[in-house]
Amino acid sequence: MKKVSSSTVARLSLYLRVLEDAATDDVRTLSSGELAKGCATTAAQVRKDLSVFGTFGKRGTGYPVPELVAQLRAILGLERTWRVALVGAGRIGAALLGYADFRRQGFLIDAVFDADDAKVGRTFQGHRVRTDRELEAAVAAGEIDIAIVAVPAEAAQDVVDRVVAAGVRAVLNFAPVKLRVPAGVALKNVNMAAEMEGLSFALANQERPARRRAAC
């Protein structure tokens, strides 16, 4: 398989969402043009992205929806359940635990850790909060495929270093800080503060006479 860019993988996620909606509506086939429309891209891009992974559909008849859903789920690693640990039992963590889509996709958040002993042992969105001193043992016991880091910025690198040293190979980071991970570990960042600042930057600069399109 060729090296696949993260933007291609992100588009596969969007294609899957459109295809799943179509499947729910009992649509049997979708053309690359129809798929592109739902994802704000072009038919050529859809064909190019999918061609990386094989030959799907027949020329002139469109992509068979249920088959492509199954194939994209396999490509994206969604045919199995991934065990997810949330580190940081705060507001962001609460929202993530309530995010029904995760479970539907096969991401099972079934362990919650916090460094604050006042939170440990309490119930948090239906989960008992465990002390973060148990993190390494939980990884060693095979309880964690993916770690979600939702701790304050100054604590984030330490948490990541610990779970990675213990064997975790995928991290979703919500702390507003750029984290370092070794090669072989996948890291995704969600930095809402930075996204908002990107918007205020665009607005502040749009207010000058020459308006221009903001990069996004």
Q: Which of residues 56-75 bind a second copy (CB under 8 A)?
A: 75
If one asks whether residue 166 binds a second copy (CB under 8 A), the answer comes out as no
Which residue in the block uniquely carries the two structure tokens 């029904």? 100
Which residue in the block uniquely carries the two structure tokens 């969402």? 17
Vertex 9 angle, CA 168 and 214, to 5°: 110
- Other beta carbons within 10 Å of 156: 22
> Based on CB atoms, which residue is closest to a second copy, 122 or 211?
211
If one asks whether residue 165 binds a second copy (CB under 8 A), the answer comes out as no
Among 112, 124, 197, 209, binds a second copy (CB under 8 A): 197
If one asks whether residue 55 binds a second copy (CB under 8 A), the answer comes out as no
Q: Which of residues 69-128 bind a second copy (CB under 8 A)?
A: 75-78, 82, 91-92, 94-96, 98-99, 101-102, 105-107
> Based on CB atoms, which residue is closest to a second copy, 138 or 148?
148
Q: Do the Cβ atoms of 105 and 112 come closer than 8 Å?
A: no
Residue 58 CB, nearest approach to a second copy (Å): 26
Residue 154 CB, nearest approach to a second copy (Å): 7
What gap in Å lies between CA 208 and CA 131, rounded to an integer? Answer: 51
Residue 8 CB, nearest approach to a second copy (Å): 9
> Based on CB atoms, which residue is closest to a second copy, 39 or 151?
39
Part in contact with a second copy (CB under 8 A); list of ranges 26-34, 44-52, 113-121, 175-183: 175-183
Which parts of 115-185 are beta strand (E)? 123-124, 127-131, 146-149, 170-173
Q: Distances in Å between the alpha carbon of 71 and those of 25, 131, 198?
A: 19, 39, 36
Instruction: Tell me which residue of 160, 164, 139 sits closest to 150, measured CA to CA.
Output: 160
> Based on CB atoms, which residue is closest to a second copy, 47 or 52?
52
Q: Which of residues 33-52 bind a second copy (CB under 8 A)?
A: 38-41
Instruction: Please say whether the dihedral angle defined by the alpha carbons of residues 44, 49, 52 and 53, taken in this order, is positive or negative.
Output: negative
